[in-house]
Amino acid sequence: MTETRLEIAQIPVLQDNYLFLIHDPVSGETGIVDPALEDETVNALGARGWQPTYIFNTHHHWDHVGANLALKERYELQIIGPAADRDRIPGIDIAVGEGDRIHLGDHAAEVLFVPGHTSGHIAYHFADDQALFCGDTLFAMGCGRLFEGTPDEMWSSLSKLMLLPDETAVYCAHEYTMANGRFALTVDPENNDLIARMNDVERLRADGVPTVPTSIGLEKTTNPFMRPMSEHIQETIGMVGAPIPKVFAEVRKRKDNF
């Protein structure tokens, strides 16, 4: 275990994206996770006096890599991104895949390959710090749209994340929680944990408070995309006893049409 915790700053950008800065106070090393916009990133770093050493990209979409090249020009930093997508990550220096380890000072992150939203999507898991940066794979009560992957791929990616400890803080890249929760209630209407969570979320969002980070434990009890094995969900959508990946696919399809 490292003795100091990573400092994590969360900055809302664009309509509903979050930019994350991760900082090791001992070495001074700082990572920028999925920078969409240059000015907002520069201001957030400057306000904290942090010098960036790395960009961590989860996938190639513009709202996650938009500021890569501008930031690389401005600072001495290296860009880490998915090996499977090296041609689509602007300025990539370090291409990583499943099981690779990245260090920010003494803090290690393991790379998880989690395709589904895009074919090359990865997540960064800082196990000792109990923090997961998962881009657009897992959201609070939701999961990413399947732009380039199959339901089976996304289900195995989410299954991989479900193996992480319940206390793991999940830093997902969008504040989609309210809309996700409204959908979740349509397929899992009698889930008391979900109903209670939505009450909290409505209160928080009314005050403009972020609902991110969430946690693996909370998602396992309230996120319908992590619960296709729930008999109640299966009953609600008329698929009792169907193969779990098929149930997942149906829930994803219903969300697309919600």
Catalytic residues: 59, 61, 63-64, 117, 136, 174
Beta-carbon contacts of 15 under 8 Å, excluding residues fewer than 6 positions away, are none
* Interacting residue with Zn ion among 34, 85, 136, 188 (CB under 5 A): 136
Instruction: Tell me if 34 contacts Zn ion by CB under 5 A.
Output: no
Instruction: For Zn ion, give the closer residue by CB, 61 or 197.
Output: 61
Q: Least distance in Å: CB of 79 to Zn ion?
A: 17
CB 21 within 8 A of CB 54: no
Instruction: Tell me if 61 contacts Zn ion by CB under 5 A.
Output: yes
CA dihedral 69, 72, 73, 74 (to 10 degrees): 120
Q: Least distance in Å: CB of 147 to Fe ion?
A: 10
CB 124 within 8 A of CB 109: yes
Q: Least distance in Å: CB of 34 to Fe ion?
A: 8
Instruction: For Zn ion, give the closer residue by CB, 60 or 197.
Output: 60
Instruction: For Fe ion, give the closer residue by CB, 63 or 129.
Output: 63
Instruction: Tell me if 85 contacts Zn ion by CB under 5 A.
Output: no
**What is the rounded distance in angstroms from the CA atom of residue 258 to the CA atom of residue 251?**
10
Q: Which stretch binds Zn ion (CB under 5 A): 14-22, 61-69, 158-166, 246-254?
A: 61-69
CB 41 within 8 A of CB 56: no
Coil/strand/helix, residue 154: helix
Q: Which stretch binds Zn ion (CB under 5 A): 54-62, 162-170, 210-218, 232-240?
A: 54-62
Q: Which does 34 bind (CB under 5 to 8 A by kind): Fe ion, Zn ion, none?
A: none
Give the helix/strand (H/E) hosting 74: helix 68-74
Per-state percent for the chain, helix, strand, coil, to nearest 5:
35, 25, 40
Instruction: For Zn ion, give the closer residue by CB, 154 or 247.
Output: 154
Site residues, Fe ion (CB under 5 A): 63, 136
Beta-carbon contacts of 136 under 8 Å, excluding residues fewer than 6 positions away, are 58, 59, 61, 64, 117, 118, 121, 144, 145, 172, 173, 174
Q: Least distance in Å: CB of 8 to Fe ion?
A: 19
Q: Least distance in Å: CB of 65 to Fe ion?
A: 10
Binding site residues, Zn ion, CB under 5 A = 61, 136
